[in-house]
Amino acid sequence: MEKYQITGSQPLTGEIRVAGAKNAALKILAASILSDKICRVSNIPKIEDIKRMAEILEDLGVKMAWGNSTMEIDPAGLKKSSPDWELTKKLRSSIMLAGPLLARFGEVTMSQPGGCIIGQRPIDLFLAGFKTLGAELFEHNESFTLKAKKLKGAKIVLPKISVTVTESLMMTACLAEGLTTIINAAMEPEIPALADYLNNCGAKIKGAGTPWITIEGVDRLSAGEYELIPDRIEAGSFIMLGLATNSQIKVSNCRPEHLETVLAILKNAGANLEIGPDYIATKPSFLRGTEIQTHEYPGFPTDLQAPFTVLMTQAKGRSLIHETIFEGRLFYTDKLTLMGADIIMCDPHRVIVEGGTKLRGKKLESPDLRAGMALIIAGLCAEGETIIDNIYQIERGYAQVVPRLKNIGAKIEKISG
Nearer to ligand EPZ, 43 or 247 (CB): 43
Nearer to ligand EPZ, 236 or 256 (CB): 236
- Part of the chain binding ligand EPZ (CB under 6 A), chosen from 80-88, 141-149, 157-165, 372-380: 157-165
Per-residue string for binding with ligand EPZ, 81-100, x by CB under 6 A? ------------x-------
CB of 119 to ligand EPZ, least distance (A): 5
Is 336 annotated as belonging to a binding site? no
Residues acting as catalytic residues: 116
Is 363 annotated as belonging to a binding site? no
CB of 23 to ligand EPZ, least distance (A): 4
User: Measured between alpha carbons, how far is 30 from 327 in angstroms, rounded to an integer?
Assistant: 27
H-helix or E-strand spanning residue 53: helix 48-59
Compute CA distances 127 → 6, 139, 214, 290, 338, whole Å. 44, 10, 19, 39, 41
Contact call for residue 305 and ligand EPZ (CB under 6 A): no
Is 43 annotated as belonging to a binding site? no
Q: Torsions phi, psi of 345, nearest 5?
A: -90, 115
- Part of the chain binding ligand EPZ (CB under 6 A), chosen from 160-168, 219-227, 253-261, 308-316: 160-168
Closest to 289 measured CA to CA, from 273, 266, 308, 269:
269
Q: Are 414 and 391 in contact (CB under 8 A)?
A: yes
Question: In 296-319, which positions are buried (b, 16+ CB within 10 angstroms) versus exposed (e)?
Answer: bbbbbbbbbbbbbbbbbbbbeebb
Sheet with 272-275, side-by-side order of all strands: 13-17, 248-252, 279-283, 272-275
Contact call for residue 125 and ligand EPZ (CB under 6 A): yes
Contact call for residue 162 and ligand EPZ (CB under 6 A): yes
What would the 3-class secondary structure string for 120-135 be?
CCCCHHHHHHHHHCCC
Q: Considering only residues 21, 91, 123, 243, which one is a binding residue for ligand EPZ as defined by CB under 6 A?
A: 123
Q: Are 100 and 57 in contact (CB under 8 A)?
A: no
Contact call for residue 397 and ligand EPZ (CB under 6 A): yes
Q: Torsions phi, psi of 386, nearest 5?
A: -120, 135
- Which positions make up the binding site? 22-23, 92, 121-125, 303, 325
- Which positions make up the binding site for UDP-N-acetyl-alpha-D-glucosamine? 92, 121-125, 303, 325
- Residues forming contacts to ligand EPZ in the complex (CB under 6 A) are 23, 26, 93, 119, 121-126, 160, 162-165, 302-303, 325-326, 369-370, 397
